[in-house]
Structures are given as structure tokens and as C-alpha cells.
Amino acid sequence: MTTFFQLVVVGISTGSVFAIVGMSLVLVYRATGIVNFAQGVFAVLGGLVTYSLSQHMSLVLAGLLAVLVTAIVATVVAVVAVGIRGRTTHLASLIITVGIAIFAEAVLLAAFGEVPRSYSAISDRAWNVGGVLVQPQYAALALVALLAAVGLTLFLRRTIVGQALVASADSPRAAELIGLNLRSIAVIAFALAGALTAIGGVLLAPTVPVSYSSGLTITINGFAAAVFGGLVSIRLALLGGYALGVVEQLVVGYIDPQYNLIIALAVMLVLIGWRSRGELAV
């Protein structure tokens, strides 16, 4: 049983990153109606930029700057995805984000090489809880995911900016009539989602080294988590990320690590089919 609980702990840790990416996808979708398939790139960018900058400054400062850089890149992605006038269709925007993800992978390869990068964790000492080792980094990831879920929920429900983000996607024409700029709304949503995803990437890299090609796997897992919440529920995206992370770690521990991505795709397809029949409540 110790092995089982150890896998669950690690699964919750990696699942927290999936949840963070999933919640970021939900934020962008609820604000713009766009599914951003370049979202995983922001996690990779956060991790790789932190690694690069940490060679010249403290790790904390490197992480903060990496999040800022990623937010700026996400802003550029928003402008490209929604178009200069904000009139690009949602399908066209989706295809654009896929193209951006492919282009970003090539840029990351050229800039950082193909070797997976990592750096020191919060602490090298693990807590022993009944024979199960819990790394402080695991706890940090789970805590950030939980705080992000609470923060995003309150932001979307209780703040004027959050309500404006949701309103612009629910009724774009009405939003324009009351003076909301759809492109500005998209930029805010993408920037916030990019920064949040970068934080996940910064915290992930010490436990799971990231490389230029890690974005695809992260995006697929994050999208599966978001689909669990119907692309509209922050809470269910959080739970979906946790569940997916645990399932994948159990596959790693008891079956074969090479089936990780297959499991994520299978879960995503099942959830899409389930939701399309209206059997999963948001």
C-alpha cells in the first residue's frame, strides 16, 4: 500500500500542473470562446526561462521574471489569435493557436536545445508521512493549484473585470454595445492564463525536467482536465487535473510509462463523449 500512496502523492503533484493548465484554458475560453492549444507552451517557457536566468541570478528572481516574460508572450499570442480587430472566428483562432504551438516548439528548440532542463527544488528534504515521502515541491504545486482555483472563481464571480471577461464571451455584440473592447478582454485573459501556467511550469521543472517538446503533453493533459469541467468550470478542471495525474502515475507504477499520453487522450475522448450527451453536470 505504501507504493500506492506514494504514486498518489506524486500524481497529485503532476496533476496540479494539469489542473493549472486546465483552469487557464477555462479562463481563456470563458472570456473569449477560444480554445488555446498553445497553452502548454507557456508552462515550458516558464520552466526554461527560469533555468536560463537562474544561471545569472537567484532562482526566485529568475522565476518571477520568467512569469513576466511568459505573460508578455501570451499577450502577443492573444493579439495574433483574435486578430487586429478582434473579428477572427473561434475556429480560425483555434487553428492559429495550433500553428503558434508548432512554431513555438521550433523556437524553443533553437533557443534552449533539446536537452530537458531542471533546477533545484524548494528543499531537498522530504517529509516522511507513514512511509510515504512528500517533497515540499509537491505540496507547493498542490497549494498553488488550490489557491488558483479559489482565486479564479472569486475573480470571475466577484470582480467587475472578471464579470466583463465572462460577459464578452457570452454575448460579444452586447459587450461591444456597452463599450467593452473584445481584443482588450482577450489580451487580459491570455496574459493572466499565461502567467498562471508559467507559475505551474516554474514549479514543475524541479521535479519533472522540461524540454522544448513538453508543451504538447502538458496541453493535452490540461485540455483533458478542462474538458472534465466542460471548459467552463474552474472547480471541475481542478478535480479533473488531480484525477488525471493520479491515474497516469498509477499507470507508470503498475503498467508502463509509455502509455501516459495514450491514457490522457483516452480520458479526454471519453469525457468529450460523456459531456456531449449531457450526462456530466457543470
Note the pLDDT tens digit of each residue in 239-248. Answer: 889 988 888 8
Report the pLDDT value the prediction gives residue 250, as an integer from 0 to 100.
84
The CA distance from 64 to 70, in Å, is 10
Report the pLDDT value the prediction gives residue 192, as an integer from 0 to 100.
94
Report the pLDDT value the prediction gives residue 164, as an integer from 0 to 100.
77
- Mention the CATH class of domain 2-276: mainly alpha
pTM tops 0.85, yes or no: yes
Report the pLDDT value the prediction gives residue 240, as an integer from 0 to 100.
87
Report the pLDDT value the prediction gives residue 144, as an integer from 0 to 100.
94
Report the pLDDT value the prediction gives residue 260, as an integer from 0 to 100.
66
- Give the closest residue to 209 by CA, choosing from 104, 103, 113, 85: 113
Determine the 3-state secondary structure of 15 from DSSP: helix
User: What parts of the chain have a pLDDT lower than 50?
Assistant: 279-282
Report the pLDDT value the prediction gives residue 280, as an integer from 0 to 100.
40
Cell numbers for 47, please give them. Answer: 520552466
The CA distance from 176 to 202, in Å, is 37
Contact between 13 and 137 (Cβ < 8 Å): yes
Give percent of the chain with pLDDT exceeding 90.
47
Boundaries of every domain in the chain: 2-276
